[in-house]
Amino acid sequence: MNKSFLSIGSNLGNKKSNIKKVISYLLKDNINIINQSSIYESEPIASKKQNNYYNFVIEVSFTFNCQALFLKVKNIEHIMGRNFYVPKNSPRIIDIDILTFNNEIISNNMYTIPHKELNKRKFVLIPWNDISSDYIVPKLNKKISTLLNDVKDLSIIRKLNI
């Protein structure tokens, strides 16, 4: 059984509904949810003229390889209506990032695992810390709790009760 942590965010449309839909699509694709963080509202990285994001992190298990996971999450983003032909950090109905795959370090022309920006993003580290603060990120060799303490991100994040 393979395991990953995924970061999921939405800032277009009905964000609460988008989160429910993405969970159902993951389950339909034989991606089992082991643990899920609380949902947080966060400021966008690029332009403050965008809507705030709803973000959370989930721990998942599945029987297929990392490339298949990548293709499945990209397909879910496509099905949900994500536009891939816009500039980086544009608003999006759904964004699913693979943070880790087992304890492997993988880099190819499609993805980099662990995700190369994860240690710079409070909106990833706060929810991840909720569910696995002692997890040691491969390559960085630091616990999530340590990465969270070290992050320089000053964006405002608040926990939602949904």
Strand 32-36 relative to strand 106-107: parallel, antiparallel, unpaired? unpaired
| Host H or E run for residue 22 | helix 15-28
Domain 2-159 fold is Alpha-Beta Plaits (3.30.70)
Which sequence spans correspond to the domains of the chain?
A: 2-159
CB 69 within 8 A of CB 89: no
pTM reported for the whole predicted model: 0.96
Instruction: Write down the pLDDT at residue 90.
Output: 87
Mean pLDDT of the chain: 95
Q: What are the pLDDT digits (tens) for 103-147?
A: 999 999 999 999 999 999 999 999 999 999 999 999 999 999 999
**Would you state the structure tokens that stand for residue 130, as one six-digit string?**
């909720």
